[in-house]
Amino acid sequence: MTSALDRVLGARLPGPPDALRRGPFRSGAFASPLHSERRAARTGAFLGIAFTVCFLTGLTSHLVQNPPGWFMWPASPVWLYRVTQGTHVATGLASIPLLLAKLWTVYPKLFEWPPAQSLARAVSRLSILVLVGAATMQLLTGLINISEWYPFGFFFTVAHYWTGWIAIGAVAVHVGAKAPEIRRGLARRGSAAATVGLAPEQAAEVRHVDAAAEDNPVPRRAFVAAAGLGIAAVTLSTVGQSLSPLAPISLLAPRLPHVGPQDLPVRQAAEGAGVTGTAVDPAYRLIVEGPTPLELTLADLQALPQRTVRLPITCVEGWSASGTWTGVVLADLLEQAGLPRDMPVTVESLQTGGLYRISTVNRPHVSSSRTLLALQLEGKPLDLDHGYPVRLVAPNRPGVMQTKWVTRVAPGRGGIGA
Ligand SMILES: Nc1nc2c(c(=O)[nH]1)N[C@H]1C(S)=C(S)[C@@H](COP(=O)(O)O)O[C@H]1N2
Ligand SMILES: [Mo]
């Protein structure tokens, strides 16, 4: 069956019509030694590493925000999510120039004739179509997302998540299908492994190209320098959004760590959330449901024992920044309301709409003495845009789950993190 198909696809296919033997289809159209198995495999290895790290850190972020029963995300170290999400966005951004470099090494293959010489080749070429499509989609939607432009509403997280699986699956198929080429491409130049599995005349050709490349390393160095510069430029102009020492050179970062009210960026302002009236209303109360329900004014909250902690806000969009927060330990309030100190609760905002008005605080976080209903930032009452009068701040937690303008705490699960 396979061999019959292979014959149809390969041997029986006539050569390209003369009309097609022009431009990129003429033989020898791509003379650069950089369109080589070696360059493709080496660039691919870097891209494969970047994709895998990006996928795993993205999966982590998804699990933290949609935790299945078996998944436990710790409350410490407090900086862990900051590192995983910063790495997710940084590897995703670095993958853009890397993917372009990789496509450049292999694009002459698009003009190969016949288009597929075997069933395995046909499947492999189709998988590349899926791979390039999914990778492009991930890098573009990710880029649009960190620029805080959501032309497709809530669809983003779902699409980005599922396309991530398609992309990593296509990477696995691609690596499997290309295993011999990859092994040869990564083998040391001139080594026996560099010609393994090749027909004698192909092996001779590889040795010839290897020798030529040794004679003239200039194109390879130019390629590596160009790709490296592209990656460095993208990384250095954005990574300061989570690595504050590099903030001054982060020309392309949408947010910078110390820019905003109280030296902290704002993701969703009070105006946009529609809380400018309710947040400053003297009728404001914090309700804590439980066997002994609490109904507290801001003055009541200020009169309770306070704790000060230094914790970052880490937006899923890639920026992060530390703040010094002062407020009431959440577990203390639960205890006062007659609830266990490790009871999972929902924290609800004054905001009436939007996706982030409710979040769940699960066990490791609810019982952490660093999880606060914060009243102050840097020793001053919270800015309205940072969640005045009360916001949730918990260690090692995505920004979307650090609910602002909190008005109700209740046992149970709901919203983000449920
Ligand atoms: N009620 C409410 N809380 C919210 C949000 C929101 O839209 N509504 N945005 C969240 C997001 S995405 C982030 S990153 C943090 C940012 O906090 P900051 O604006 O004080 O820096 O707030 C979170 N809390
Ligand atoms: Mo965010």
Atom of ligand 1 nearest to the CA of 267: 19
C-alpha–C-alpha distance, residues 96 and 102, integer Å: 10
404 touches ligand 1 (CB under 6 Å):
yes
Nearest-CA residue for atom 18 of ligand 1: 266
Q: What is the mean pLDDT of residues 238-260?
A: 88
Ligand 2 midpoint to CA 320 (Å): 9
75 touches ligand 1 (CB under 6 Å):
no
pLDDT at 7: 61
Task: Tell which one of 268, 316, 350 to mutate to probe ligand 1, the residue whose CB is within 8 A of the most ligand atoms.
Answer: 268
399 touches ligand 1 (CB under 6 Å):
yes
C-alpha–C-alpha distance, residues 287 and 407, integer Å: 6
Query: pLDDT tens-digit profile of 150-171?
Result: 666 567 888 999 999 999 999 9
- Tokens 């046909």 identify what position? 122
Which residue, among 323, 336, 327, has the nearest Cα to 373 in the 3D structure?
A: 327
266 touches ligand 1 (CB under 6 Å):
yes
Q: Among the listed ranges 78-82, 242-246, 326-330, 345-349, which one has the minimum average pLDDT value?
A: 242-246
pLDDT at 3: 57
Nearest-CA residue for atom 24 of ligand 1: 403
Please report, rounded to a whole number, the percentage of residues in the chain having pLDDT higher than 70: 94
394 touches ligand 1 (CB under 6 Å):
no
Nearest-CA residue for atom 12 of ligand 1: 400
313 touches ligand 1 (CB under 6 Å):
yes
Ligand 1 midpoint to CA 211 (Å): 58
Ligand nearest to the CA of 390: 1
Helix axes 218-236, 80-106, angle to 10 degrees: 150
pTM: 0.91
- Show the 3-state SS of the chain: CHHHHHHHHCCCCCCCCHHHCCHHHCCCCCCCCCCCHHHHHHHHHHHHHHHHHHHHHHHHHHHHHCCCCCCCCCCCCCCHHHHHHHHHHHHHHHHHHHHHHHHHHHHHHHHCCCCCCCHHHHHHHHHHHHHHHHHHHHHHHHHHHHCCCCCCCCHHHHHHHHHHHHHHHHHHHHHHHCHHHHHHHHCCCCCHHHHCCCCHHHHHHHHHHHHHHHHCCHHHHHHHHHHHHHHHHHHHCCHHHCCHHHHHHCCCCCCCCCCCHHHCCCCCCHHHHCCCCHHHCCCCCEEECCCCCEEECHHHHHHCCCEEEEEEEECCCCCEEEEEEEEEEHHHHHHHCCCCCCCCEEEEECCCCCCCCEEEECHHHHCCCCCEEEEEECCEECCHHHCCCCEEECCCCEHHHCCCCEEEEEECCCCECC
Task: Tell which one of 391, 393, 402 to mutate to probe ligand 1, the residue whose CB is within 8 A of the most ligand atoms.
Answer: 402
357 touches ligand 1 (CB under 6 Å):
yes
Ligand 2 midpoint to CA 84 (Å): 15
Q: What is the mean pLDDT of residues 359-379?
A: 97
pLDDT at 385: 98
> Hey, what's the torsion of the CAs at 15, 16, 17, 19, to 10 degrees?
-150
Higher pLDDT, 54 or 353: 54
pLDDT at 33: 78
Q: Where are the domains of the chain?
A: 12-249, 262-411
Residues with Cβ within 8 Å of residue 197, at least 6 apart in sequence: 180, 184
Q: What residues does 376 pair with on adjacent strands?
A: 326, 381
C-alpha–C-alpha distance, residues 232 and 239, integer Å: 10
Which residue, among 30, 180, 165, has the nearest Cα to 110 in the 3D structure?
A: 30
C-alpha–C-alpha distance, residues 321 and 241, integer Å: 8
pLDDT at 289: 98
C-alpha–C-alpha distance, residues 125 and 290, integer Å: 60
Q: What is the mean pLDDT of residues 217-244?
A: 91
Nearest-CA residue for atom 21 of ligand 1: 266
C-alpha–C-alpha distance, residues 213 and 245, integer Å: 41
pLDDT-derived band at 262 (thresholds 50, 70, 90) equals very high
C-alpha–C-alpha distance, residues 326 and 391, integer Å: 10
Ligand 2 midpoint to CA 267 (Å): 6
Instruction: Classify domain 262-411 at the CATH topology level.
Output: Sulfite Oxidase; Chain A, domain 2 (3.90.420)
pLDDT-derived band at 8 (thresholds 50, 70, 90) equals low
Query: pLDDT tens-digit profile of 58-91?
Result: 999 999 999 999 999 999 999 999 999 999 999 9
pLDDT-derived band at 1 (thresholds 50, 70, 90) equals very low
Q: What is the mean pLDDT of residues 186-199?
A: 84
Which residue, among 85, 95, 82, 83, has the nearest Cα to 138 in the 3D structure?
A: 95
